[in-house]
Amino acid sequence: MAERILVKASFIWDGVSKDLRHNGAILIEDTKIKTVGSYGEINPSDYNHVLDFSGLTLMPGLIDSHTHHSMDPTLENYLDRMSDSIPELTLRAAAMMRKDLQAGVTTCRTLGDKEYLDIACREAVNKNLILGPRSIVAGKGIRAANGHGFVGYPFDGKEEIRKAIHENLAAGADFIKIYISGTLKGDGDLPSYLTREEIATAIRTSHEAGLKVASHCVGGIGLDWALELGLDTLEHAYHISDAQIEKLAVSTTKLVLTPSPILNDKIVYHYPKHLIQGHFNERDEICGRMRALIGANIPFALGTDGMHGELAKEAEYVVELGASNFSALQALTVYGASVCGMENETGTLEAGKYADIIAVEGNPLEKIQALKKVKAVVKQGRLVHYPNSQSNIKELKYSF
């Protein structure tokens, strides 16, 4: 018989329902979910292992929709540390990925790292060489020579951009990242560092190759262009105008919010000194813009932008900014999967999807802080984190 594991718990939130299921059970066959039902409905002869999470709530594994594998904002001046040596960045990335997984992140979307180390990390996880979330990765981010983007690489003009996309594709990138604007407004407008033609080239070349395009863009004329030209995902949107929210609502562009780089003091104090005050100055205005997006019922995914192990905090921030617990939870699961293009593989607890399951203490539909109490993580049918492990499930663990 194929390896079949029954996971039982006091409650299940499947990612879709508005309520919890009581005394639920999930039957896993190899890497996938075979059935989700009540404990009593599943025949004991159907499985050969049991994971008993009585007292806990099962929910889909979390999805960090905007991160960078090797970034660590807990380091002083952490943006400059993205210029550390590639071996150092790669080892840091492995440690960060483990931290994410232990916090319940089973999938992440990486918006650029140095020298394709994100691709190496993705493959190392897939080959079980290191422990981490599965990832989809952007390879080398594309920015203008005079533009923003600590993690990106400069490419100017349509030809260089086309070449950069082809090189990313050849290296194994899953999607393309471009930097249209900076992050702060300062005293003036928000210039677009890429021209309209460069953005059009990036989107057209990527789409012809079957890749989606994500853009760091907080507002300004570049955001108007990107929406008109069919950008796939808008990252941050910190200074989006009311008129642009209306355009976004009727566009095909998906939104990824990243509250932490603005709201988390631990991150802000670790920016280069000349950028710190600006973040504090614009904090209220940016919160107002995020409230406006949430109030307009624009669906959104959530990302930490590198604050590994703290995805739960993003959910707390958006709830404070007016989102319901349900939409914050969907941002971290169903909608995150859709932004990753993995809606048929993960994001909900449904038959046929990967068995990406976490057990949390409490009911996150009522108290979002339950996400901070991740007690066990199952990724693709394997128990990968269970600090209070019982000996009878030892055989299911990775042997590191």
Give residues in contact with Zn ion (CB under 5 A): 111, 305
DSSP secondary structure letters along 111-176: ---GGGHHHHHHHHHHTTSS---EEEE--S-EE-TTS--TT-EE--HHHHHHHHHHHHHHHT-SSE
Closer residue to Zn ion, CB minimum distance, 307 or 371: 307
Alpha-carbon distance of 67 to 316, in angstroms, equals: 18
Taking the CB of residue 250, how many other CB atoms lie within 10 A of it? 8
Closer residue to Zn ion, CB minimum distance, 33 or 144: 144
What is the spatial order of strands in the sheet that 254-257 belongs to? 153-154, 142-143, 176-179, 213-217, 233-236, 254-257, 300-302
User: Residue 301 in contact with residue 62, Cβ under 8 Å?
Assistant: no
Closer residue to Zn ion, CB minimum distance, 118 or 198: 118
379 contact partners, CB below 8 Å, separation of at least 6: 61, 101, 106, 133, 134, 354, 355, 356
Closer residue to Zn ion, CB minimum distance, 111 or 384: 111
Least distance (Å) between residue 366 CB and Zn ion = 31
Least distance (Å) between residue 1 CB and Zn ion = 45
Closer residue to Zn ion, CB minimum distance, 15 or 259: 259
Q: Is 73 exposed, middle or buried (0-12, 13-18, 19+ CB in 10 A)?
A: buried
Least distance (Å) between residue 15 CB and Zn ion = 25
Least distance (Å) between residue 177 CB and Zn ion = 8
User: Residue 191 in contact with residue 220, Cβ under 8 Å?
Assistant: yes
Taking the CB of residue 12, how many other CB atoms lie within 10 A of it? 28
Closer residue to Zn ion, CB minimum distance, 111 or 287: 111
Pair of tokens at residue 329 = 């939870």
User: Residue 148 in contact with residue 182, Cβ under 8 Å?
Assistant: yes
Least distance (Å) between residue 6 CB and Zn ion = 39
Least distance (Å) between residue 188 CB and Zn ion = 23
Phi and psi at residue 99, to the nearest 5°: -60, -45
Least distance (Å) between residue 127 CB and Zn ion = 26
Least distance (Å) between residue 305 CB and Zn ion = 4
What is the total residue count of the chain? 400
Closer residue to Zn ion, CB minimum distance, 53 or 150: 150
Closer residue to Zn ion, CB minimum distance, 118 or 305: 305
Dihedral angle over CA of 135, 140, 145, 148, nearest 10:
10
Closer residue to Zn ion, CB minimum distance, 96 or 111: 111
Q: Running DSSP on this structure, what letter comes out for residue 363?
A: -
Least distance (Å) between residue 307 CB and Zn ion = 11
